[in-house]
Chains A and B, each alone.
Chain A
Amino acid sequence: MISKPLRIGMVCPYGWDVPGGVQMHVRELAEHFIAQGHYVSVIAPVSDEDAITDSWLVNAGRPVPIPFNGSVARVLFGPIAASRVRQWIVQGDFDLLHMHEPGIPSISLLACWAAEGAMVGTFHASTPKMRAIASVGPLIEPMIEKLSARIAVSEMAQATLNNLYGTEAVVIPNGIDTTRFREAKGPGSVPGGLRIGFLGRFEENRKGLPLLLEALPRIIKAHPGVELVVAGPGDPARVLAKVDPQVARHVKFLGRLSEEEKVAFLASLNLYIAPNTGGESFGIILAEAMASGAPVLASNIPAFVDLLSVGDSGVTFISEDAADLARKVNDLLSNRPRLQQLAENGVEAAIRFDWGSVATQIMSVYEVAMTGHGKVAVGSENASWKKGRER
């Protein structure tokens, strides 16, 4: 399939040792291409150097926490980071650079600035705060233009990109390893009542756990045996303090899960619920739940509606409406054949997110981007990016 192995450099803008969608995407894409015989080097900010176990990972420096889009992003900037990125490009002898999220102030942007040659950028976020970015848009535009090809992970991310910089992108979804999820055991393996699940940093309001807890009393009333299982990092005590103890008895916290535990967790659910109120661009967790055969109920935010639009693979409720959420949960839990059907549709619909298809599409974009370019080089040293703009 591959005529000649490529030397690919990938840039991850967020702290590598903190779990996150972008980091996961970069890791799995890198591993997929390495398994296909390509050479891949990933550069990323790292907080704890000892935690690095992958030989293909290069440490760009210690990230700085900056509030961004409702959560805290661990990014890296500054002169030292810039020179490390530059050095990495020189030493890597790359055929192509793949920047992730080059529109945020971190090392992907620095790589864009330093490099000359075949470059691909993937845009993950969809940000509602246009004005904040719009103030620097004119400065970033020339950087974005240097990219030979742009990928957006969803229609939402594409719309954001279009609004901010007026450029188009190819939409290629985030990838998952569907075989890993399909092998997990179904809810039959867990004895007892009904399990509904939530996964995410539950203390962040935009992830929607407060909404689900608000709906929970009504769900318990209709289904007294129901158990809400919450997975993800955070402090349960702080959440449960606001909840009636009678309701809290039905809530179980699992803490942060490993990848294997996540697969088992999703497969053990009768219903997966994504009550997010916004700020999501893709919703990889929905794809994972679908792949593992958990029926999905999600808020009707654009990213989720988009993801669930194929082949009746999930149900949505009105975002931020606890009454509608409770009603939909109760309807679904009382209708076993419907749950079974959603599970089967989900597994099928999730196939389009499998790395096999996603990575092939990304490779096609690489091929387009490399046309007419030699090896990636660095631009002239010490060129001020502003002077370049004024020329």
Chain B
Amino acid sequence: MTYVALLLLVLLFMWYLSFSAARLDRLHHRVETSWEHLDALLQRRAALALEISHQTDLDPATDFLLMQSAYVSREEAIVDRNDAERSLSESLKFLRESARSGELTISVRLLDELTALTEKITLAIKIHLEAVNSVAKLRSRPIYRLFHLAGKAKLPRIYSFEEDSL
């Protein structure tokens, strides 16, 4: 009788382990998809920044900043482009504010597109960070660490550009 109970307990525990691993796997997957979505939006933002730079009569300093960070954002791997994304956020924020106060004329279409894209990115970052934080929280639990349920998956990291206000 006790053997049966023990066996059941072991089976139950194994089921729990596999359930937990599947749960974590799902979350990891969510981080990946939310990142892909965010990355695609960031690429669009870089392209838009280049278009704004091309079509707007900007001073060389603003133009420099915009073009440089947009090029780097499009070309580099994420670890190398954190700074570029941050400068892009800052310079685009500056452009929107300057356009709003009338110091700068940007075509209405580009400005609308930029505003819409910025809202989408803000949202995408929020969703992505939420997924990243859930993974980190889950993986810090003893059972996940003890049984290596995360396998070789890297702990997703947060980049400082994701914490800027856009």
Contact = CB atoms under 8 A, between A and B. Distances in A.
Given A78-B98, A132-B72, A136-B68, A65 B61 contact: no
B151 interface: no
Given A67-B83, A78-B94, A78-B103, A105 B57 contact: no
A332 interface: no
B87 A135 contact: no
Interface string A379-391: 0000011100000
Nearest to A107: B61
Contacts of B57: 384, 386
B90 A110 contact: no
Contact of A79 (B71, B75, B98): B98
Contact of A64 (B72, B82, B84, B94): B94
Size bracket, chain A contacts: 20 to 34
Contacts of A131: 72, 75
A325 B94 CA distance: 44
A132 B103 CA distance: 28
Contacts of A80: 98, 103
A67 B88 CA distance: 10
Contacts, number: 87
A75 interface: yes
A68 B64 contact: no
B60 A133 contact: no
B61 A75 contact: yes
Contacts of A133: 68
A140 B63 CA distance: 10
Interface in B125-145: none
Contact of B68 (A64, A82, A112, A132): A132
A66 interface: yes
Contact of B64 (A76, A107, A140): A140
A238 B118 CA distance: 33
A140 B64 CA distance: 8
Interface of A: 64-68, 75-82, 104-107, 109-110, 112-113, 131-133, 135-136, 139-140, 143, 384-386
25 contacts: A66-B86, A66-B91, A67-B82, A77-B61, A77-B64, A77-B65, A78-B61, A79-B59, A80-B103, A105-B60, A105-B61, A106-B61, A107-B61, A109-B61, A110-B59, A110-B60, A110-B61, A112-B60, A113-B60, A135-B67, A135-B71, A136-B68, A139-B67, A140-B64, A385-B60
Can you list the 3 inter-chain pairs with the closest CB atoms, starting with the nearest? A77-B61, A135-B71, A105-B64
